[in-house]
Amino acid sequence: MSGGRGAAVQRAIDFLSGPDAAKLDPARLPAQPDYEALVQRGSELGYDLSADGLRAAFALIIRARLLAELHTGNGTKR
Protein backbone atom coordinates (compact mmCIF):
# COMPACT_ATOMS: atom_id res chain seq x y z
CA MET A 1 0.00 0.00 0.00
CA SER A 2 1.30 3.47 -0.75
CA GLY A 3 0.51 6.87 0.73
CA GLY A 4 -1.07 7.80 4.04
CA ARG A 5 -4.55 7.25 5.40
CA GLY A 6 -5.96 10.08 3.33
CA ALA A 7 -4.72 8.47 0.16
CA ALA A 8 -6.14 5.11 1.20
CA VAL A 9 -9.52 6.69 1.80
CA GLN A 10 -9.39 8.46 -1.54
CA ARG A 11 -8.59 5.23 -3.36
CA ALA A 12 -11.51 3.57 -1.62
CA ILE A 13 -13.81 6.44 -2.60
CA ASP A 14 -12.62 6.15 -6.19
CA PHE A 15 -13.43 2.47 -6.09
CA LEU A 16 -16.81 2.65 -4.36
CA SER A 17 -18.12 5.65 -6.25
CA GLY A 18 -16.52 4.94 -9.62
CA PRO A 19 -17.74 2.81 -12.51
CA ASP A 20 -16.20 -0.35 -11.08
CA ALA A 21 -18.70 -0.21 -8.20
CA ALA A 22 -21.21 -1.64 -10.67
CA LYS A 23 -19.05 -4.77 -10.72
CA LEU A 24 -19.54 -5.23 -7.00
CA ASP A 25 -21.91 -8.15 -6.89
CA PRO A 26 -23.61 -8.44 -3.48
CA ALA A 27 -23.95 -12.17 -4.04
CA ARG A 28 -20.14 -12.49 -4.22
CA LEU A 29 -19.56 -10.77 -0.91
CA PRO A 30 -20.13 -11.95 2.65
CA ALA A 31 -23.41 -11.01 4.26
CA GLN A 32 -21.53 -10.20 7.47
CA PRO A 33 -19.41 -7.09 8.07
CA ASP A 34 -16.17 -8.12 6.36
CA TYR A 35 -14.04 -5.34 4.94
CA GLU A 36 -11.20 -7.71 4.06
CA ALA A 37 -13.52 -9.40 1.59
CA LEU A 38 -14.17 -6.01 -0.01
CA VAL A 39 -10.44 -5.36 -0.10
CA GLN A 40 -10.02 -8.67 -1.91
CA ARG A 41 -12.83 -7.89 -4.34
CA GLY A 42 -11.26 -4.47 -5.01
CA SER A 43 -7.93 -6.13 -5.59
CA GLU A 44 -9.52 -8.41 -8.19
CA LEU A 45 -10.71 -5.26 -9.93
CA GLY A 46 -7.25 -3.64 -9.76
CA TYR A 47 -7.52 -1.43 -6.67
CA ASP A 48 -5.04 -1.14 -3.82
CA LEU A 49 -7.31 -0.84 -0.80
CA SER A 50 -7.34 -1.22 2.96
CA ALA A 51 -10.14 -2.18 5.33
CA ASP A 52 -9.82 1.10 7.23
CA GLY A 53 -9.85 3.09 4.02
CA LEU A 54 -12.99 1.32 2.81
CA ARG A 55 -14.74 1.79 6.12
CA ALA A 56 -13.99 5.52 6.13
CA ALA A 57 -14.85 5.90 2.44
CA PHE A 58 -18.24 4.23 2.83
CA ALA A 59 -19.05 6.47 5.79
CA LEU A 60 -18.09 9.56 3.78
CA ILE A 61 -20.19 8.50 0.80
CA ILE A 62 -23.22 7.95 3.01
CA ARG A 63 -22.68 11.28 4.72
CA ALA A 64 -22.57 12.96 1.33
CA ARG A 65 -25.83 11.27 0.33
CA LEU A 66 -27.40 12.35 3.59
CA LEU A 67 -26.35 15.95 3.04
CA ALA A 68 -27.74 15.85 -0.47
CA GLU A 69 -31.01 14.48 0.90
CA LEU A 70 -31.20 17.23 3.48
CA HIS A 71 -30.59 19.85 0.80
CA THR A 72 -33.41 18.50 -1.30
CA GLY A 73 -35.72 18.98 1.66
CA ASN A 74 -36.45 15.37 2.41
CA GLY A 75 -35.49 15.84 6.04
CA THR A 76 -34.07 13.13 8.22
CA LYS A 77 -35.31 10.65 10.75
CA ARG A 78 -32.49 11.43 13.11
Partner 1 sequence: MNVARQPDVDLSPIGSLALLWDAVPESLVSKAARLRLEAAAARLAPIARIALEVRLGEGQDAVDLHQYISHSAADAAVLGRYLSQSGPPVPGEESARKFLNAWAGDAGGMRADFDGFFLEWDGPGTSSAGPPAIFLPVQARHGRDPDGANRRVMVARHIEQLGSAGALGAALLRAFPAEYSISHVGFMLGRGNAVRLNLRGIRPDDLETVLARLDWPGDIGQAKDHFALLVGLTGHVAVALDFAPAIQPAIGFEAVLPDFPAGEPRWHELLDRLCIDGLCTTDKRAALVALGARLYPEQQGQDWPASWIAAAMIAPPACVPWFERRLSHVKVTIGAQGDVAAKAYVSAQHHWYRGKSPEPQRPLLAPGRSHAPPIQDASNRAAAFLLAQRQQDDFWRDFRLVNGMSDEWVTGFVGYALATSGVAVPNALATQTVQALLRRQRPEGGWGYNDLSPADADSTTWVLRFLGAVGYAGPEVARADAFLRSHLRPQGGISTYAAATSLRFQGAAEAPNDEGWRSGHVCVAANAAAWIGEPLVAHLLSSQGADGEWAAYWWRGDSFATALAIEGLGSSPAAVESRARATAWARTRAATARTAFDRAWLIRILAGGGPLERDQARAMAAALAAEQHEDGGWDASAEMLFPDPAELRRRPDAPIVLDEARLFTAASALLAFAALQSCGDEL
Half-sphere exposure of 6 (CA within 13 A, CB side): 0
Decide: 69 and 76 in contact? Cβ < 8 Å.
yes
The residue among 2 and 22 lying less far from partner 1, judged by its C-beta, is 22
Taking the least distance from each CB to partner 1, the nearer of 2 and 46 is 46
What is the closest distance, in whole angstroms, from the C-beta atom of residue 55 to partner 1 in the complex? 7
H-only helix segments in the chain: 5-17, 35-44, 51-71
Binding site for partner 1 (CB under 8 A): 16-17, 21-22, 24-27, 29-35, 37-38, 54-55, 58-63, 65-66, 68-69, 74-78
Which C-beta is closer to partner 1: that of 2 or that of 76? 76
**Closest C-alpha among 57, 68, 66 to residue 14:** 57
Q: Smallest distance, Å, CB 3 to partner 1?
A: 22
